[in-house]
Amino acid sequence: MTVATKTKVHNYSAGPCILPREVFEKAAQAVLDFEGSGLSILEISHRSKPFEAVMAKAQSLVKELLGAPDNYQVVFLGGGASLGFHMVPLNYMKLGGKSAYANTGEWATRAVKESKLVGDTIVVASSEDKNFSYIPKGYAIPSDADYFHFTSNNTIFGTQYRQLPKSPVPLICDMSSDIFSRPVNVADFALIYGGAQKNMGPAGATMYLFDPERLGHTGRKLSPMLDLKNHGAKESMYNTPPVFAVYVSMLTMEWMKSVGGVVEMEKRNAAKAKLLYDAIDRLPLFKGTTAAEDRSVMNATFVMSDAALEPAFDVMWKEAGISGIRGHRSVGGYRASMYNALPIESVQALVDVMEEFAKKHG
């Protein structure tokens, strides 16, 4: 085996994560001189015509790539999806009403906690009983709930909804870590939201894609900063948006469109995931940590059958120029995050290391 040198870093970071090289190059140029203006993208006014065009393009690309209905709106806000956890019940749970949630991991747990601060919150499905190692199935969503919320992909535990749920009530999804990785039927959702720092751009922006007709019916008076309807009406410009994060997100979405959109992303992601999971299943030194049918295409989690071998394995993958595959501090083991911009060559580099290690220690 020829091990990759450190001049090539294979970035498996769970987020902020790898983005396309051409996006970095364009963003770097814009930091120095944005579109020949003599000003940096970091210093231009968010009210300037050039940035208004950037925002409009970013909003348009979200809808185009996901095939959203014409009436849906897109806003980019700060605060991360963690702020979104609180904004969701404020904007969708009626006074005296209730919400329904599926709890499939750390971020879903936090979303449930935020909803409970606002009103009656029912957890209708949970995989906490087996340390979030699977996606619950066969549960009923109450028809009198104001909405049903789920997390499509669980970065820490490595599970993913392979089939998105159908709901008798408005469907809301935190898609922070798998948005743009596969086609979805946006019309099925009242709201899709997620932090940009996985498949879309750098940390600092959260995207909300929603049907404005589903808003404003809670009977609750909201701060304008927490009111999605207000942000939609102001076209994401109620206050200063995260300018640079929106710009880089726009560049990333342009890249996605240029290579074939989410259909092509789905094809590439499936190939990467198959390559790595096949190695995990084939090599006895490695073992997957989630139910096979619920494995995440974005975040592959695995452990070693003999934990005492971890230090030696760590040395080998670091020497191969691989970065960011240690598991989340709360679960240990390993996590390989294979977001849209990670090339399959990087996955092959990891598989090569795993196979070489297995030959030496198997």
Q: Which of 26, 146, 174, 294 is catalytic?
A: 174
- Integer Cα distance of 308 and 54 in angstroms: 51
Return phi, psi of residue 208, to 5°: -120, 125
- Integer Cα distance of 204 and 55 in angstroms: 15
Specify whether the CB–CB gap between 149 and 174 falls below 8 A.
Answer: yes
Strand 191-195 with 206-210, pairing: antiparallel
Residue 146 annotated as catalytic: no
Whether omega for the bond prior to residue 50 falls within 30 degrees of 0, making it cis, is no
Q: Which of 198, 211, 294, 317 is catalytic?
A: 198
Residue 33 annotated as catalytic: no
Specify whether the CB–CB gap between 210 and 191 falls below 8 A.
Answer: yes
Burial grade of 146 (CB within 10 A; 0-12, 13-18, 19 or more): buried
DSSP 8-state class, residue 164: P
Angle at Cα 99 formed by Cα 98 and Cα 102, nearest 5°? 150
Residue 107 annotated as catalytic: yes
Nearest to 298 by CA among 199, 164, 206: 199
How many residues does the structure list for the chain? 362
Query: Helix, strand, or coil here: 277?
Result: helix
Q: What is the DSSP secondary-structure string of 331-360?
A: T-SEEEE--TTS-HHHHHHHHHHHHHHHHH
Q: What is the DSSP secondary-structure string of 25-59?
A: HHHHHHHH-STTSSS-TTTS-TTSHHHHHHHHHHH
Strand partners, 207: 76, 194
Q: Which of 107, 146, 227, 294 is catalytic?
A: 107
Active-site residue list: 107, 174, 198
